[in-house]
A and B are shown apart, each in its own frame.
Chain A
Amino acid sequence: MPQPSEKTEDGRIRCDACPVMCYIKPGAAGACDRYANHDGTLVRVDPHVVLDRTLQQGGSVVPFNRGGGDWDGKLVRGPETFVTAIGAGTTYPDYKPAPFIVSAEVDGVDMVTVVTEGIFSYCGVKVKIDTDRHLGPERSLVRAQGEPVGHVTTGEYGSQMLSLGGVHHLTGGSKKEGRVTCDTLLELSNGRAVELTIDDGATVIVQAGRPPIVNGAAEERMRVGCGSATIGMFAKQWHGKVDEVVVVDDHITGVLSEHQAGKLLGIPDTGIHMKGRRSTPGRYFQVAQPGTGWGGTDISDPLSILGPFDPKKARPGLTMLMVSTTGEHFAYYVLDDELQPVQQELPAALRQSIARIEENCEPALCTVLFMGGAGGSLRSGVTENPVRLTRSVKQALTYVTCGGAPVYVWPGGGITFMVDVTRVPENAFGYVPTPALVAPIEFTLRLSDYEALEGHMDHVRPLSSLGVDAARRPVAPYRDNPWPFAPEGAKRSHG
């Protein structure tokens, strides 16, 4: 590597890699885009990414041998370097052998990694947003920059799922819809934040691995459970410290004195009257409208979900705790002589149970899974008989990775896979203006298996021929990813 021959006072360095002799400012690259000034040091910045195990965090850590076979005592089973498809170039549109077909010897077996960047017009992202706040009705359109890019799908435990992209938004709508959809998928897949608005719902800022921001408020915690589950979990801790507890939840609001858990503890009736639809004792549906207030409802005053207390059962001085499923909202009341609840300061004895609810709530995150299907031309880049690649993947002879990250290959026909975008190296995704996304995809298999599926044997090249040190960008692999050359039984379960 050339050394900077001159360094100026303001941090510029003069590159002597070629006679252009560019002055390069800190953080900038020279005219060639190959050399850059990184904190005063001239560095080479080629785009082709090589996962380098020696850079892996905690360099001595090796994957646990999950295969179940006898461990032979070797620390590292495969070669140290795995070439990803990021920046490799595509096989598209005129199918030709994939840009890099790399062979490396692993445990005495010649392994082949077919490296390409696939163009996916059938692709999208599945987004899981950890929140109990109401983001919008199921099937509502999700928009970016005003264009429809997907829809709200199921609510899961503590989370709301969105399905974004897909071929109909990419190519089935207006040009602008396709372009905005493509941009949205690209930003999310590359780990950047995107603002989404949901018809008849909320505006949410989504970024993989970060808390969602719903209507301007960052979500901190997932709920500990539904209102009924929360009653069950904490009934014993409340027993004797408060007469009644209501856990406010948009799904199922729980009432301690009526709930099975309260009955078992012998907690007496309190004369409480809940609005909403009773499901089973102590469990209420639809106490309010969905929203971004208490427990994913639209309320800011919890008393609004209560009717008058029954004078036959209630008594002045009766105490009541109302709390949301995350512990974010809570209020403590004492009934006055007219049996009206009057808010008072939360007693110290109950403070701990609120803290315990908060402690049991996991951090709320957005998670983004890229999902795409490998098409005909991509598979042709791997083999002259594409269906054999599909079969090889199904038979688990071929290990599929996305930028070195493990994928879940959906059962059934074709090669449709999902990958957690946070496990893929940075900026691994690109796009073409058709529009479609460009995603890295690697197929790793035994050389003999590659020959059997009529692979492009004449294009196989040894890893050493790539000149890993000079021209490739080494990156540390995501440390929880199985090493692609030694996935050991992790073929289908990760992602």
Chain B
Amino acid sequence: MARLPQIALLPDGRRLHLQDGPIDLIVDARGTAESVRAAYEAAARRFTGLLDELCDELPLLRAPARLESCPLQGGVARRMHEAVAPYAAGTFITSMAAVAGAVAEAVLAAMTAAAPLSRAYVNNGGDIALHLAPGQGFTIGLVDRPDRPGLFGTTVLAAEDGIRGIATSGWRGRSFSLGIADAVTILAAGAADADAAATVVANAVDLPGHPAIARVPARELQPDSDLGDRPVTRGVGPLAPDEIDAALAAGAATAETLIARGLIRAAALHLAGETRTVGLGEPTSSQAKSLIHA
């Protein structure tokens, strides 16, 4: 029998849970009951077979991205390549850096094409594609440790902001990072763009050669990792305040460049309990404070 993804409503009876192999999506749509049903059916249809489609081109997706041309065939694969291409000249990057965001975008696009929705999101393990009808908004919670998710602060996105993608990357998350950021959260026009940029900025938060940082060749951890023998971060020991500042400054400088190039809108960088934001306004700390007393 063919392998089929898991498709189920969450216990709240409202959100949809889609899971297949390493892809795990939480989907929420708002609209009329009829629209939501149609959107969820479209999401499930689009999701079925999506992983196989990607795996057909896995060796190419794991190869360094090329600036001049895209050798990939599938729609999601081509979107991944498009999102990472702006970085291909300056650094090592593969299309895999945008896989989570691109998958989220593809499922969201199927939903919005199927029915009118006021708001919707597809959350792929923290990489989120958003849909907002005019006049709508989302309150976004920020997480500083992907391995132990918890709200750090919140920010409000309005439809007019033009932000439809949010992604978070860091060495504690599921994907490997070359940097030491606990988490870098990016706001961008699309989820694939945010995903690729989160990887790039998280890699830039770094203290090369620092003795407190444990690094291991990626291949030793996952033999078929697209990062090959590049050293990925596995542990960060105590850092002095000026070292934390220096690492965050390096990441913030990269984020500023990406904003200037029009690739992203904002970034929030977290390291060792310290936070730096670049772009849009600060996350509203009053929201964070209101979370303190359970």
Chain A interface (Cβ within 8 Å of chain B)? 12, 17-25, 28, 30-34, 92-93, 96-97, 99-101, 118-122, 145, 167, 171, 175-176, 179, 375-378, 430-434, 436, 438, 459, 461
Asked if B11 contacts A20 (CB within 8 A), the reply is no
Contact B273 A119 (CB under 8 A): no
Q: Is the C-beta of B238 less than 8 angstroms from some C-beta in chain A?
A: yes
CA distance in complex: A12, B225 (Å)? 14
Known: A31-B174, A32-B21, A121-B293. 19 other contacts (CB 8 A): A18-B55, A19-B52, A20-B21, A20-B51, A20-B55, A23-B222, A31-B21, A93-B151, A97-B12, A99-B11, A120-B294, A171-B292, A179-B273, A376-B294, A431-B148, A432-B149, A432-B151, A433-B145, A438-B150
**Residues from 11 to 38 in B contacting A, C-beta threshold 8 Å:** 11-12, 20-22, 24
Beta-carbon contact of B291 and A434 below 8 Å: yes
Name the A residues within 8 Å of B220 (CB-CB).
25
Which residues of chain B are within 8 angstroms of A145 by Cβ–Cβ distance?
238
Give the 7 A-B residue pairs with the shortest CB-CB distance, closest first. Answer: A432-B150, A18-B21, A32-B22, A19-B55, A375-B294, A23-B223, A119-B294
Q: Are B292 and A175 in contact (CB under 8 A)?
A: no
Tell me if B288 counts as interface (CB < 8 A to partner A).
Answer: yes
The reply to whether A18 and B51 form a contact with Cβ atoms under 8 Å apart is yes
Which of the residues A24, A31, A33, A433 comes within 8 Å of B144, measured between beta carbons?
Answer: A433
- Main secondary structure on B side of the interface with A: loop
Query: Please, how many angstroms separate the alpha-carbon atoms of A378 and B294 in the complex?
Result: 7
Most chain A CB atoms below 10 A, which of B149, B152, B174, B292: B292
In chain B, positions 185-202 with a C-beta closer than 8 Å to chain A are none
Cα–Cα distance between A378 and B273 once the two chains are bound (Å): 26
Measured between C-beta atoms, what is the minimum distance from A297 to chain B in Å? 35
Which residues on the B side are within 8 Å of A122 (C-beta)?
293-294
A461 proximity list for chain B (CB < 8 A)? 11
With A20-B22, A23-B223, A99-B11 as contacts: A118 and B294 at CB distance below 8 Å:
yes
Question: In this assembly, does B221 line the interface, its C-beta being within 8 Å of a C-beta of chain A?
Answer: yes
**B294:A22 contact, CB within 8 angstroms:** no
A-B contact pairs, 7 of them (CB 8 A): A12-B223, A20-B22, A24-B222, A92-B151, A176-B273, A376-B294, A432-B291
Which B residues are CB-close (under 8 A) to A25? 220-223
Q: Are A19 and B21 closer than 8 Å at their CB atoms?
A: yes
Closest to A145 in B: B238
Q: Which residues of A contact B150 (CB under 8 A)?
A: 119, 431-434, 438
Q: Is the CB of A433 within 8 A of B11?
A: no
The answer to whether the Cβ of B261 comes within 8 Å of any Cβ in the partner chain is no
List residues of chain B with CB within 8 A of the CB of A121: 292-294
Which residues of chain B from 170 to 225 have a CB within 8 Å of any chain A CB? 174, 220-224
CA distance A436 to B58 in the complex (A): 41
List residues of chain B with CB within 8 A of the CB of A431: 148, 150
Of residues 41 through 85 on chain B, the ones whose CB sits less than 8 Å from some CB of chain A are: 51-52, 55, 58
B291 to chain A, nearest CB (A): 5
The smallest C-beta distance from B282 to any residue of chain A, in angstroms, reads: 16
| B12 pairs with A433, CB closer than 8 A | no
Residues of B within 8 Å of A377, CB to CB, are 294
Measured CA separation A459–B293 after assembly (Å): 26
Taking CB atoms, residues of chain A closer than 8 Å to B52 are 19
Residue of B nearest to A93 (CB): B291
Partner among A92, A96, A100 whose Cβ is within 8 Å of the Cβ of B294: A92
CB-CB nearest in chain A for B14: A96
Contacts A18-B22, A171-B292, A431-B150; is A28 near B3 (CB within 8 Å)? no
C-alpha spacing A376/B273, complex, angstroms: 27
Write the nearest CB–CB distance from A179 to chain B, whole angstroms.
5
Which partner residue on chain A sits nearest B99 by CB separation?
A31
B182's nearest neighbour on chain A, judged by CB, is A433
By the criterion CB–CB under 8 Å, are A23 and B224 in contact?
A: yes
Contact of B222 among A28, A99, A176 (CB under 8 A): A28
Find the residue from A12, A19, A436 having the highest chain B CB count within 10 A. A19
Q: Which residue from chain A places its CB closest to the CB of B287 in the assembled complex?
A: A93
Contact A96 to B12, CB < 8 A, known contacts A22-B222, A28-B221, A33-B174: yes
B155 to chain A, nearest CB (A): 15
Q: How far apart are the CA atoms of A431 and B24 in the complex, in Å?
A: 23
- In the complex, per-residue mask of B273-294: 1 if CB is within 8 Å of any chain A CB, else 0: 1000000000000001011111
